[in-house]
């Protein structure tokens, strides 16, 4: 436990099995976790897979937490929830289908660059499937690399994708 609560933002995704049930279950698992309070949940958004082999569409979302867990402990919690819902990182194909993907996007104002933990998430500003649900929670949040708001960056990505949602 780190003491004072920290705001953390988590991206969720699923494209194997009952996607909505898996995402709802992950949110409930976060609600049930000691040291974690779920503050907000975005709507689920269906998105096309990016990279990797041919695979089904994803359902994506974002969750805002208030947590007293240290960042490495929060990451372990997220990975434990993924495993509980059927994710086997050792057997999966990189960027391939998965039952559940939970990514730590932000941990307070901290910038961490450790072998297994980089926050803010290094690719979040290039991912419409992350920014769209994040925009539902925090449209005016300033992104660390570009300095743009989530809303501004999402609009830029949509323009560069030819208006694709």
N-to-C CA span, the chain? 39
Set out the domains of the chain in order of their start, with CATH numbers.
6-123 (3.30.70.560)
Supply the pLDDT for residue 162: 53
pLDDT along the chain (165 residues), means of 10: 85 95 98 98 93 89 98 96 85 78 94 88 91 96 94 93 52
Residues 65/5, Cβ–Cβ less than 8 Å = no
Residue 68: CB atoms within 10 A of its CB come to 16
Q: How far apart are CA 81 and CA 156, in angstroms?
A: 33
pTM for the complete prediction? 0.90
As annotated, the active-site residues are 87, 98, 101, 103
Tell me the β-bridge partners of 11. Answer: 62, 103
């Amino acid at each position: 436990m780190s003491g004072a609560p920290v705001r953390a933002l988590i991206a969720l995704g699923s494209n194997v099995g009952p996607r909505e049930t898996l995402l709802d279950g992950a949110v409930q698992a976060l609600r049930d976790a000691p040291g974690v309070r779920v503050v907000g949940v975005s709507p689920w958004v269906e998105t096309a897979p990016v990279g990797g082999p041919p695979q089904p569409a994803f359902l994506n979302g974002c969750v805002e937490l208030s947590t007293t867990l240290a960042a490495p402990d929060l990451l372990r919690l997220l990975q434990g929830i993924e495993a509980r819902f059927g994710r086997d990182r050792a057997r999966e194909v990189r960027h391939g289908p998965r039952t559940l993907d939970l990514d730590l996007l932000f941990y307070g104002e901290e910038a961490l660059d450790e072998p297994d933990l980089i926050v803010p998430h290094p690719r979040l500003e290039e991912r419409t499937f992350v920014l769209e649900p994040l925009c539902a929670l925090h449209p005016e949040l300033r992104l660390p690399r570009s300095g743009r708001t989530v809303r501004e960056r999402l609009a830029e990505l949509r323009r560069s994708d030819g208006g694709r949602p």
